[in-house]
Structure 1
Amino acid sequence: MGTPPSSARPPGAWAERLARWGYAAALRLATPLYFLKLWRRGGAEPLYRAHWAERLGFGERTAPGALWLHAVSMGETRAAAPLIAALRARRPDLRLLLTHSTATGRETGRELLREGDAQRWLPLDTPGAVRRFLDRHQPIAGVLMETEIWPSLMAEAARRRLPVVLANARLSAKSARQGQRLRALLHPAAARLALALAQTADDARRLREAGVGEVQVCGNLKYDLQPDEALLARGQAWAAAQPQPRRPVLLMAVSREGEEAALLRAWRQRPEAGGARPLLLIVPRHPQRFDEVATLVRDAGFSLARRSSWVGQDLPPPEAWSAEVWLGDSLREMPLYYGLADLALLGGSFEPLGGQNLIEAAACGCPLLMGPHTFNFNEAAALAEQAGAACRVPSLAEAVTMATGLLAEPGALAQQAARARDFAAEHRGAAERMAQALAGRLPQR
């Protein structure tokens, strides 16, 4: 065999040690800034100011023998739910240790806990914090959701012979290119994974190139998520309760910074179409931005109604229906918003951010327009487009123009909604495939 090209040659042991030493030193120096950031975020989300000792690997011990599962934020935690259910079906005695990095992840994870389970923050990735975390909890194995590979954590797990699996794994072409710059640090960490359960064949290929030894393609867990039927029905009831003439509803789903301002400019300049004036509903991705987006709406000259102003009421108050823009400033109510909407724009796809989860919209039967940036869900976006469940547009301005026309054609929207539901149902089954692959990696009692 010939000598492999330098880009494919694994880094040497000394290069890795030096890279990990520099990485750990940088994290230690940045720790005060890290806690300052948490404190500031805690002003809007108080949970960030709780259980700080866990961020350094301290905190209350748990009984050894749990399966440790890390889901960084709300999206990953929700995706883990069908996998956890499938694992519990195979191992009813299974105890879980759930870790998270964000407040929304930890709040969402509480709903997955059973008696005997525990929940902690993932520690900062310094060698000392990681050792303390693993000493206190002694899990039987680790499952990291989607993209969470941490160099110090993987090195310490390997030293303890603790198997760690990357589930629902994805690696975009952009992330793979960026990872090459830190190859001496990330390649050995990836190589220490016992297994990666990839969403797509392209993800699997890139994961192997990044250093993972064993990879299986299992599909995307997010297809297995069933929308909350009560929330979906409530949204549909809100749509039916509108004063006449009914206004079609355009949803900007899980919007990111920069998108709302561009959307409001385009909404101001949208072309005239027949029928009632549409209602624009914006649901930001991050709760700490709710007030910021409300200010953007008012500064753009639109009247505003906020969902938080009628929490606890069965229906929106009459004055809400006269507003030009609604702000969905609530958590875990996306099925409600999809049930209310006639058409949605995919947040995160109109800026180079990779797009948000389009599968949830499809499962709720909400037609979708997506922008050019969907690298976080490339295969799902392509399949949705092929199935007629979603359409791609090059910019927000063009999306608003297309949406204005579609909202005047309820028959076409109904057909697209049916195609969206069929598309979501067709691709389910990843949870069972991943549970089967993981079952063989868990020590038997």
Structure 2
Amino acid sequence: MLPLRYLYTLLMYLATPVIVLRLLTRGIRYGSYHQRWPERFGLFPAPGLNGSLWVHAVSVGEVNAAEPLIKALRLAYPHAPLVITTVTPTGSERVRQLFGDSVFHVYLPYDLPFAVRRFLLRVRPRLAVIVETEIWPNLYFACRRRGIPLMIVNARLSERSMRGYRPARGLVRAALRCVSLVAAQSRTDAARYRVLGAPAERVVVSGNLKFDMPVPAQAKVDGEAMRDRWGRLRPVWMAASTHEGEELAVLEAHLEVLQRLPDALLLLAPRHPDRFRLVEHLVRNLGFTAGTRSADRVPAAAHQVFVIDAMGELMPFFAASDLAFVGGSLVPIGGHNVLEPASLSRPVLVGPHTFNFDDITQTLVREGGAVRIESGDRLGAAVQQLLRDAPTLGQMGRCAHDVFASEQGAVQRVMTLVDRMLQE
């Protein structure tokens, strides 16, 4: 196993020039990011921490999933410093929005031995908590060498990810043996971690943290205010977290909807900030009367499409919608979080590719809270049919919320595991 690990580390070093070039490119795209890229090599002023609780959440979705757990950790261990790491600038911004200066945020270092060593010496964690699926061999080996308990919580592993790990199966198995505990979202995820090499006795099923995410009361208030603004009888649907290749299908679907429901409104939220302007141009070039969150704040009666060009602000718009299509599912991205609309009793539409949230999505479809469409050209008919059937919309919304409510409790189960780990 040692030669394979050395080969992996050598490849990481050889990739460093490409990594630096990518950092410079991302710095151009995300403004101040270039000032912080040394953090990716463990270069940042030591914050003077000792015995910190470290939570790693790669990007926005993982930060949102980790939110209730981080709040529970802060409540249970008020004197322990909290360290949150992310990989993406959008994830970093979400940490700032949720927690401000109450936590220490830094970017996760690349999996280079010297960078990992610097990082661990600066934050001095008492416990490492990795959210969902981030397997970095050198980081894991370093935690074991320093006696830092390492947990993977809300752990999920798709069939596609398992195939991706196959070429380095031996190295991944060795890395997973450094993990003290894997708290999986579902039995399927737990089984896949065992197949990948996690010791069976260290894998448990704790449920999905996203079922415990807080539903902001203000989101409902803001959603109601928007409905009052444009008229409560107006048909409104939302396309959330869309990717390249999906917006055109969504806008073509909206054209179909407008033929039967001429006052319908589409709320369109692209997944990535660097595509906000591109999507806005696409909407306007197709002839829609459009508004944006940055320019107009809220939709007006005249808008046919409203582009939500902001991060972390989807909940009020879900609350203002009659139903929601969740993106990343018409293209093979694997789908995004279907629980946000479900938590607000909103029916859900998804495409064929939902392997990132497979168990949740299947449960929602089976229980009547979601509908799966086969392709983008079926989206318009599905939206139109549901918007014209208020009783079905209401029933689907209730079913979606029932699924959401029935699965809650993962945070408490994970906190029990954390307490036990810290006591040991």
Which category describes the TM-score, using the shorter chain as reference length? Answer: over 0.9
Identity %: 38
Secondary structure of the corresponding residue to residue 352 of structure 2: coil
Amino acid at match of 1:292: L
Cα separation, partners in 2 of 1:383 and 1:157, compared to 1, 3 Å:
same
Distance 1:326 1:28 in 2: 45
Which residue does the alignment assign to 1:229? 217
Distance 1:285 1:20 in 2: 35
Write out aligned runs for 1:77-96 (5 A).
77-96=63-82
424-433 or 233-242, larger mean C-alpha shift? 233-242
Which residue does the alignment assign to 2:19? 34
Distance 2:141 2:302 in 1: 58
Secondary structure of the corresponding residue to residue 309 of structure 2: coil
Q: Is the 8 A contact 2:256 2:380 kept in 1?
A: no
Which residue does the alignment assign to 2:9? 24
**Cα displacement string for residues 241-283 of structure 1 (whole angstroms, at most 9, x for unaligned residues):** 2158x4311211111121112222343355843x543112210
Distance 2:246 2:104 in 1: 37
Which one of the candidate residues 148, 154, 157 is aligned to 1:171? 157
**Cα displacement string for residues 29-76 of structure 1 (whole angstroms, at most 9, x for unaligned residues):** 322332332333333422422322211012111321101111111111
Secondary structure of the corresponding residue to residue 99 of structure 1: strand
Which residue does the alignment assign to 2:326? 346
Matched, 1:135 2:115: no
Which segments of 5 or more consecutive residues in structure 1 lack a partner in the other structure? 1-12
Cα separation, partners in 2 of 1:54 and 1:329, compared to 1, 3 Å:
same
Distance 2:347 2:273 in 1: 24
Which residue does the alignment assign to 1:282? 268
Which one of the candidate residues 352, 360, 363 is aligned to 1:372? 352
Secondary structure of the corresponding residue to residue 230 of structure 2: coil
Which residue does the alignment assign to 2:251? 264
Give the CA deviation at 1:407. Answer: 0.7
Q: Is the 8 A contact 1:223 1:359 kept in 2?
A: yes
Q: Is the 8 A contact 2:150 2:180 kept in 1?
A: yes
Which residue does the alignment assign to 1:7? none
Which one of the candidate residues 12, 24, 44 is aligned to 1:59? 44
Which residue does the alignment assign to 1:254? 241
Which one of the candidate residues 49, 63, 70 is aligned to 2:34? 49
Name the TM-score, length of structure 2 as normaliser.
Answer: 0.94
Which residue does the alignment assign to 2:183? 197
Secondary structure of the corresponding residue to residue 60 of structure 1: coil
Give the CA deviation at 1:302. Answer: 2.2
Distance 2:275 2:327 in 1: 14
Q: Is the 8 A contact 2:258 2:264 kept in 1?
A: no
Amino acid at match of 1:442: L
116-125 or 137-146, larger mean C-alpha shift? 116-125
Name the TM-score, length of structure 1 as normaliser.
Answer: 0.90
Give the CA deviation at 1:111. Answer: 4.5
Distance 1:209 1:298 in 2: 49
Which residue does the alignment assign to 1:331? 311
Q: Is the 8 A contact 1:283 1:327 kept in 2?
A: yes
45-54 or 214-223, larger mean C-alpha shift? 45-54
Distance 1:321 1:308 in 2: 17
Distance 2:264 2:173 in 1: 50
Secondary structure of the corresponding residue to residue 42 of structure 1: helix
Distance 2:387 2:184 in 1: 37
Secondary structure of the corresponding residue to residue 421 of structure 2: coil
Secondary structure of the corresponding residue to residue 344 of structure 1: strand
Cα separation, partners in 2 of 1:299 and 1:30, compared to 1, 3 Å:
farther
Q: Is the 8 A contact 2:23 2:37 kept in 1?
A: no
Give the CA deviation at 1:307. Answer: 1.4
Distance 2:158 2:72 in 1: 27
Secondary structure of the corresponding residue to residue 240 of structure 1: helix
Matched, 1:398 2:383: no
Cα separation, partners in 2 of 1:408 and 1:127, compared to 1, 3 Å:
same
Q: CA RMSD in A?
A: 1.9
Give the CA deviation at 1:114. Answer: 7.8
Give the CA deviation at 1:404. Answer: 0.6
**Cα displacement string for residues 169-193 of structure 1 (whole angstroms, at most 9, x for unaligned residues):** 0001121122112213222112211
Distance 1:113 1:334 in 2: 18
Cα separation, partners in 2 of 1:322 and 1:115, compared to 1, 3 Å:
closer
Amino acid at match of 2:248: A
Secondary structure of the corresponding residue to residue 241 of structure 1: helix
Secondary structure of the corresponding residue to residue 323 of structure 1: coil
Q: Is the 8 A contact 1:282 1:326 kept in 2?
A: yes
Secondary structure of the corresponding residue to residue 383 of structure 1: helix
Which one of the candidate residues 376, 400, 414 is aligned to 1:420? 400
Secondary structure of the corresponding residue to residue 442 of structure 1: helix
Which segments of 5 or more consecutive residues in structure 2 lack a partner in the other structure? none
Which residue does the alignment assign to 1:99? 85
Q: Is the 8 A contact 1:226 1:363 kept in 2?
A: no
Matched, 1:218 2:203: no
Which residue does the alignment assign to 2:131? 145
Q: Is the 8 A contact 1:87 1:439 kept in 2?
A: no
**Cα displacement string for residues 75-115 of structure 1 (whole angstroms, at most 9, x for unaligned residues):** 11111111122233332322211111111211222355487
Aligned residues: 421
